[in-house]
Structure 1
Amino acid sequence: MHQASGRSFYGFILALITAVLWGMLPIALKHLLVDLSANTITWVRFLVAALFVSAVLWHKNALPAVRGLSKKALTLLLIAIGGLLSNYILYLMGLHLLTAETAQVVIQLAPFLMMMGGIFIFREQLLLWQKIGATLLVIGLLLFFNEKLLVLLTQFNQDSLGVLLVIIAAVTWACYALAQKQLLMTFNSQQIMWFIYLAGAVCFLPLIDLTPVLQLSGLQWGLLAFCCLNTIIAYGAFAEALEHWEASKVSAVLAITPLLTILFANIVSWLFPDAAPAQALNFWSVAGALLVVAGSAITALSPLLKHHLAGKRQAG
């Protein structure tokens, strides 16, 4: 079993960098979706990431091959590829119909669904604090949508479709994550991501429209470059954080991502009044967002809490 290096502060900084980058990402994507299609943005991000990871693996002489893979490993690889490719495009389609803040809160279902998959597929036990965290997450989502909940449930409008697409994106991400967990017995994380990035660059190629790319403003080129670098740096910082800090603690830091998105959206709205205004949130929506974050953090930290309490009982 992998053991963290113990460099906790370094792991925390890396996890925080990941959270900040993922918090900024939907805001940048939202502005790009005005002129670029979801397929084109996704293809560019996959292409740049594929070229970068290819160079890294080639330098390490670690480019993977599918020849000789077992049927089980090949199936898992296809699930991981299909899961993350679907997640990228469905999230962007949902983001196009929603505010960045709403999309980021709803996508917090992803780690919760991964946990549920671990329970039903890998027969992992659901701890008491995980049940509490999951309950808080669901209550938080209901409170966040307090003003729109009745409309979302009774009238299938643009917001309803957007929320549905992001929920499905969360499901497909959970499928990818669970498949990757098993694939780590065959490939390392960089090799798995190389397969996914390469597949994405190939699969989305027939669906792109590069004409609007040539007409982008300087700011939009900067946002597109940021989104590409975000894919590489955020996932790299995330993987490196896991080398130095426990996975549960890293996940707990990442739980603040929706709050960072809300913060950055308000900062952008203040700095650029002509840009899309930040989402107006009432008291219950803010409380709901905080509960979503708390629920995600408690769920992630539950294994550590159980271990700590067990240690205290033994010491007593």
Structure 2
Amino acid sequence: MHISSGRWVYGLFLALLTAFLWGILPIKLKQVLQVMDPVTVTWFRLMVSGGCLFIYLASVKRLPSRKVLGPKGGLLVLLIGFGLFFNQHLAELLTSLSDYTAGVLLVLLASTVWTFYALGQKQLLTVWNSLQVMMVIYLFCALLLTPWVHPLEALNLSPLQGWLLLACCMNTLIAYGAFAEALAHWEASRVSATLAITPLVTFVAVAIAARIWPDYVHAEQINALGYGGAVLVVLGSALVALGPSLIAGLRARRARVVPG
């Protein structure tokens, strides 16, 4: 079983970075998806990210070895991780659906599956580092998507959309890398709780982008009750993610002040 390093402040920073990058991703994807289908966009993101990691790991001679997984139990976690990672993208792959209810159900499904994916990836960190884990996941999932992609759609992108596609690829590389590294330093439950603020990041980012580029981005209409719910999400995430660490710190400080 993988044991966190205990550097929870660093883990928190990485989790917040992941939430920020995931939060701004929909703004860029929205423009690219006007020309390309979701499966092809995801394939490009996985291929570019996996390719960058492959080149780096090959250059430093640290490509992952299958032997360290073992004949059964490591290999089983890897296969489960592949499947769960692929299912986590169901909401993205099927964003062409216009039915709002279907979208909500897909988000709920992705959230549920994401929990198991995080646990599976955390186990892989016992034998591979975070970069090796993500490289294998990126390239394997890209291979799974290959029969359904249409890469020539990229030729129809405008210069702006082309840069946004590249930004989406870099977003995937950095965000998932930060997520994997956060799991190495912090408990999976704390990391997942922190990532719950991602929709709020999206809301704020959309509001700002709508003011700067009103021709491309339209702000969401949310009532007072919705704002109240947003505040509760932030408070709840902070309580779950930071509460135990803060309480432990206070107890340790009290123990030093008051001799036992």
- Normalising by structure 2, we get a TM-score of 0.84
* Consecutive unaligned residues in structure 2, runs of 5 or more: none
Alignment of 1:1-316 (within 5 A): 1-4=3-6, 15-67=15-67, 69-88=70-89, 90-93=90-93, 95-97=95-97, 158-239=99-180, 254-308=195-249, 310-311=251-252, 314=255, 316=258
* 2:91/2:107 contact within 8 Å kept: yes
Instruction: Describe the shift of the 1:13–1:73 C-alpha distance in structure 2 as closer, same or farther (beyond 3 A).
Output: closer
- Identity over aligned pairs, percent: 42
Q: Would the aligned equivalents of 1:46 and 1:200 in 2 still touch at CA under 8 Å?
A: yes
With over 3 angstroms needed to count, the CA separation of the structure-2 counterparts of 1:173 and 1:250, relative to structure 1, is: closer
Quote the Cα distance in structure 2 between the aligned partners of 1:246 and 1:186: 17
Instruction: Report which stretch shifted further, 176-185 or 74-83.
Output: 176-185
Aligned pair count reads: 253
Letter of the 1:65 partner, please give it: S
Aligned pair in 2 of structure 1 residues 176, 251: CA closer, same or farther (>3 Å)? closer
Cα distance, 1:187 vs structure 2: 1.7
Query: How far apart are residue 201 of structure 1 and its match?
Result: 1.7
- Preserved CA contact (<8 Å) 1:30 1:96: no
Residues 14, 237 of structure 1: 8 Å contact kept: yes
- Which string of whole-angstrom CA distances, capped at 9 and with x for unpartnered residues, describes residues 257-299 of structure 1? 3222111111222222222422100000111122122222211
- What is the Cα-based RMSD across aligned positions, in Å? 2.8
Shift of 1:38: 1.3
Residue 233 of structure 1: CA displacement?
1.8
Aligned residues of 2:38 and 2:93 also touching (Cα < 8 A): yes
**Alignment-mate amino acid for residue 75 of structure 2:** L
Report if aligned partners of 1:15, 1:250 keep a CA contact under 8 Å in 2.
yes
TM-score using structure 1 length: 0.70
Amino acid at match of 2:226: S
- Residue of structure 2 in register with 1:118 after alignment: none
